[in-house]
């Protein structure tokens, strides 16, 4: 099999536009290799580190098997309304599920594709991220049933700079919305958190740092962020901050990539998913304790607390076929993710909505 | 005729020093990783890490070809891992968006953007196979060695990937020549 001459020429031409600073890269390679070599020579430190890691792992493992704290509302079934996105071949829709009956219906059938939907804390309004026609995004706030949408973050016609939105989160008093989007700083693309008034007034507040996800504390005084404050140390971890991004506190400091945090209704815990160590975890809001809730059978993501704190909804491919799971891991495809529920201690896992070939994931839960 | 990647003891090139090998191979490796990840900056970062690991194993390399296959294998593995880490974008609905860093300080040329966008229509595996065969000039057997696949599987990925890439770039369909 020989190279396709047309494609070879196009790839060559495109590649020639990528500026490669070989000398700087080579200097860094030697520096990093030397640093790693020094590290490996320090056997005493390495042994100590391994012993330390083993001790932490053992303690962590112990926590999994320890008696678990009483679950609030343990005798009650789930209730309230869960908003979830259903992604199918070529389409995406927002649905609402009655958690007590298990019945679903479309929530928003509008002029654009919904990328995220979340009810305001009191449940009377619905904020949506819409993809208008494949070239722009906007944030709208509608009535709880999706009617009468009002745009609060306009589509950016310039394309390169704009919302480019991932997800959003309401402040507990319903006055503000935080969303993760993309911006440019000194010509370099960056993702960070924007905070806007829920009525669209005023200019967005842009947090310093690289942040890709956000959730508000129930008292509205803190945000939990995923990302890193310093681009020189691009390690994805959980942080908390004041709503303006100040008073940063690091909750995790590890090799795993934390994702999709959701603050518990009582403010004591944050649930999140992780990629490098697949599963759903909870961490105390002060970062003092981490527990793994799910650790087998699939890829578990996007946990969302119920308003009463008694349940956590999440998406998982644990029920997918081995072929689907393989494709999900390789990135070739993403299918077979269904909605599940579990107790906040990881017990009582149960499927909620499953559809062949679909990608279903929760975005919001209201009373 | 399929080219072979098996080592012929009489034609083995001397390995030389690492810096010379780096200067001869880094740019192409970085650009190959950039095509697979569709991100120019990321491609260079991944290639840098692959070459750092190569430097640490340099004494184990037996020939330039051995080193080249080894560093491409690491770079492609890193690219695959990078894509897995960024699988979250699918869950946020960004899979239909052009995830090309048009504002990157590295490049914003139309040529790059067009190719990077067209590569988005290929699966990651198809991208790896097409890039190795049609950009780095590896044959199917060499690409198979790098990717840990059979040559037949590589050919299937290449043919499907080429079809999608040619269509995305507006190049007329071409009769496949194995």
Q: Look at residue A40 in the predicted model and tell me its pLDDT.
A: 62
Q: Look at residue B14 in the predicted model and tell me its pLDDT.
A: 67
Using the 8-state DSSP alphabet, how is residue A112 labeled?
A: S
Radius of gyration of chain A (CA): 22
Contact A96, A81 (CB under 8 A): yes
Structure tokens at B90: 């699918």
> Is A20 close to B92, i.e. CB distance below 8 A?
no
Structure tokens at B138: 């590896």
CA pair distance A170, A196, nearest whole angstrom: 10
Closest to B162 (Cβ–Cβ): which among A7, A115, A116? A7
> Is B104 close to A257, i.e. CB distance below 8 A?
no
Q: Is B46 exposed, middle or buried (0-12, 13-18, 19+ CB in 10 A)?
A: buried
B106 chain-A contacts, CB cut-off 8 A: 18-19
Q: Which of A69, A68, A83, A70 is nearest to A302 (CA)?
A: A83
Assessment of whether the complete model's pTM goes beyond 0.80: no
Closest to B48 (Cβ–Cβ): which among A28, A187, A302? A28
In this predicted model, what pLDDT tens digit does every residue of A292-306 receive, in sequence order?
Answer: 999 877 888 889 999
> Is A36 close to B56, i.e. CB distance below 8 A?
yes
Count the neighbouring beta carbons within 10 Å of the beta carbon of residue A120. 21
Structure tokens at A163: 């919302």
Three-state SS annotation for A304-365: EECCCCCCEEEEECCCCCHHHHHHHHHCCCCCCEEEEEECCCCCCCEEEECCCCCEEEEEEE
CA pair distance A362, A96, nearest whole angstrom: 10
Contact B135, A15 (CB under 8 A): yes
Q: Is A32 on the interface with B (CB under 8 A)?
A: yes
In this predicted model, what pLDDT tens digit does every residue of A64-106 receive, in sequence order?
Answer: 444 434 344 445 689 999 999 887 655 678 999 999 988 898 8
Taking only residues 235 to 254 of chain A, the set having a beta carbon closer than 8 angstroms to any beta carbon of chain B reads: none
Q: Nearest CA of chain B to the CA of A85: how many Å?
A: 9
Q: Look at residue A268 in the predicted model and tell me its pLDDT.
A: 97
Pick among B28, B134, B166 to test the A interface (most A CBs inside 10 A): B134
Hey, is B126 helix, strand or coil? helix
Per-residue pLDDT of chain B (178 residues; tens, 9 = 90+): 344 344 344 445 667 899 999 999 999 999 999 999 887 777 888 899 899 999 999 999 999 999 999 999 999 988 876 665 555 454 543 333 334 343 333 455 678 888 887 887 888 889 999 999 999 999 999 999 999 889 999 999 999 999 999 998 998 876 655 4
Closest to B106 (Cβ–Cβ): which among A4, A19, A25? A19
CA pair distance B112, B176, nearest whole angstrom: 25
Q: Is A326 on the interface with B (CB under 8 A)?
A: no
CA angle A8, A9, A15 (to 5 degrees): 85
């Amino acid at each position: 099999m020989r190279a396709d001459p047309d494609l070879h020429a196009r790839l060559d031409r495109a590649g020639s536009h990528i500026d490669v600073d070989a000398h700087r890269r080579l200097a860094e390679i030697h520096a990093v290799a030397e640093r790693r070599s020094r590290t490996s020579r320090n056997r005493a430190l390495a042994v100590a580190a391994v012993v330390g890691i083993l001790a932490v792992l053992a303690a962590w493992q112990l926590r999994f098997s320890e008696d678990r704290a009483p679950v609030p509302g343990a005798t009650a079934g789930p209730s309230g309304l869960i908003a979830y996105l259903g992604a199918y071949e070529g389409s995406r829709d927002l649905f609402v599920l009655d958690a007590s009956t298990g019945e679903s219906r479309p929530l928003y059938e509008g002029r654009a594709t919904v990328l995220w939907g979340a009810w305001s804390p009191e449940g009377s309004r619905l904020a949506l991220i819409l993809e208008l026609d494949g070239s722009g995004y906007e944030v709208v706030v509608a009535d709880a049933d999706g009617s009468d949408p009002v745009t609060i973050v306009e589509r950016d016609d310039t394309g390169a700079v704009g919302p480019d939105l991932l997800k959003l989160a309401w402040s507990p008093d319903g006055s503000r919305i935080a969303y993760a989007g993309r911006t440019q700083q000194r010509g370099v693309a960056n993702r960070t958190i924007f905070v806007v008034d829920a009525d669209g007034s005023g200019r967005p507040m842009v947090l310093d740092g690289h942040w890709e996800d956000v959730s508000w504390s129930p008292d509205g005084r803190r945000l939990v962020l995923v990302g890193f404050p310093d681009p020189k140390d691009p390690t994805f971890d959980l942080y908390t901050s004041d709503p303006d991004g100040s008073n940063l506190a690091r909750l995790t400091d590890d090799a795993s990539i934390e994702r999709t945090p959701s603050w518990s209704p009582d403010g004591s815990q944050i649930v999140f998913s992780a990629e490098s160590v697949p599963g759903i975890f909870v961490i105390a809001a002060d970062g003092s304790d981490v527990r793994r809730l799910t650790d087998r059978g699939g890829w578990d993501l996007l946990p969302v607390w119920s308003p009463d704190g008694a349940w956590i909804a999440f998406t998982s491919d644990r029920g997918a076929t081995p072929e689907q799971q393989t494709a999900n891991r390789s990135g070739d495809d993403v299918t077979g993710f269904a909605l599940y529920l579990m107790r906040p201690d990881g017990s009582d896992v149960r499927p909620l909505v499953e559809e062949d070939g679909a990608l279903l994931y929760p975005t919001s839960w209201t009373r | 005729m399929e080219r072979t990647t098996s080592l012929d003891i009489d034609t083995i090139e001397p390995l030389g020093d690492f810096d010379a090998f780096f200067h001869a191979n880094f740019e192409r490796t970085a650009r190959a990783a950039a095509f697979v990840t569709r991100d120019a900056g990321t491609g260079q970062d991944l290639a840098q890490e692959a070459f750092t690991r190569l430097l640490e194993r340099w004494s184990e390399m037996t020939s330039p070809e051995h080193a080249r296959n080894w560093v491409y294998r690491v770079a492609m593995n890193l690219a695959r891992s990078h894509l897995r880490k960024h699988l979250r974008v699918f869950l946020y609905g960004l899979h239909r968006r052009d995830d090309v860093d048009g504002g990157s300080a590295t490049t914003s040329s139309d040529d790059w953007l067009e190719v990077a966008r067209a590569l988005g229509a290929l699966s990651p595996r198809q991208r790896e196979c097409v890039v190795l065969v049609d950009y780095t000039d590896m044959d199917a057997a060499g690409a198979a060695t790098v990717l840990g696949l059979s040559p037949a599987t590589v050919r299937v990925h290449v043919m499907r990937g080429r079809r999608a890439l040619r269509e995305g770039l507006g190049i007329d369909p071409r009769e496949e020549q194995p």
